[in-house]
């Protein structure tokens, strides 16, 4: 809104709209079970304080995820109950042993 009313007039001074940002939709569900992906790039996201990683799946689909510490370009990432316990992988809490770091 940029502190403007319905006629476009500024109603609150010194309250700008900010810089224009491109919103990147993130995959929080990680529902592609058993399909491996490689990290294409780790990018800065102006909408949040965390870095994001662009994943290229084997079937050709591309998705963004929050990039955990230790995720590098070229790393293989997988989701599902059979995934290994590594940074970037997503699996059910039942399959994660006690004492593991959860991102």
Q: Are 18 and 26 in contact (CB under 8 A)?
A: no
Residue 31 tokens read as: 């529902």
Q: Please state the rounded mean pLDDT for residues 7-34.
A: 89
37-95 placed in CATH 2.40.50.140? yes
Per-residue CA distances from 51 to 62, 82, 87 (Å): 16, 26, 14
pLDDT digits (tens, 9 = 90+) for 61-77: 999 999 999 999 999 99
**Max CA distance (Å), the chain:** 58
pLDDT digits (tens, 9 = 90+) for 25-38: 999 999 999 999 99
Q: pTM of the entire structure?
A: 0.81
State the pairing for strand pair 76-77/37-43. antiparallel
Please tell me the predicted confidence (pLDDT) of residue 1: 66
Sorted by where each begins, the domain ranges of the chain are 37-95
DSSP of 53-73: EEEEETTS-EEEEE--TT--T
Per-residue CA distances from 21 to 45, 52, 70, 82 (Å): 9, 15, 27, 37
């Amino acid at each position: 809104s940029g502190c403007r009313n319905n006629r476009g007039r500024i109603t609150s001074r010194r309250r700008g709209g900010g810089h224009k940002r491109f919103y990147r939709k993130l995959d929080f569900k990680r529902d592609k079970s058993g399909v491996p992906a490689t990290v294409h790039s780790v990018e800065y996201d102006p909408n949040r304080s965390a870095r994001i990683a662009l994943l290229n799946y084997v079937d050709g689909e591309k998705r963004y995820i929050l990039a955990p510490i230790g995720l590098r370009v070229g790393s293989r990432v997988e989701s599902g109950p059979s995934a290994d316990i590594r940074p970037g992988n997503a699996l059910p809490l039942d399959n994660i042993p006690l004492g593991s770091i959860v991102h």
